[in-house]
Structure 1
């Protein structure tokens, strides 16, 4: 028998993973902006490095494939 909780968790993980894969640049930029809090750099000057974007996208693939 399939539990509704398992289906809900699976769908949520699939959505989160898809967001990380499709919008990896936006998520990485947001992460860099949060990391810049307390820094002397302005928030407008923050941009995620290419390796960081790739890391977020790969995390999304792992989350999607674990469902």
Structure 2
């Protein structure tokens, strides 16, 4: 593939990734605010949320890693 095509595919993949994780950002920010205020949070819910973000990132990384 040409560099332009590869770059366009990479950009498209990153945009899909950002779109996928953007649904989790408001909840992550809310959790961060609660932590900063010293409020109690559900550690289990926070870990589940972080794992969802991590799995989303990994699922978007897997296709490009398979090419290597």
Q: TM-score range by the shorter chain?
A: 0.3 to 0.5
Which structure's CA Rg is the greater one?
Answer: 2
Q: TM-score, normalised by structure 2?
A: 0.43
Q: Which has the higher contact order (CA 8 A, sep 6+)?
A: 1
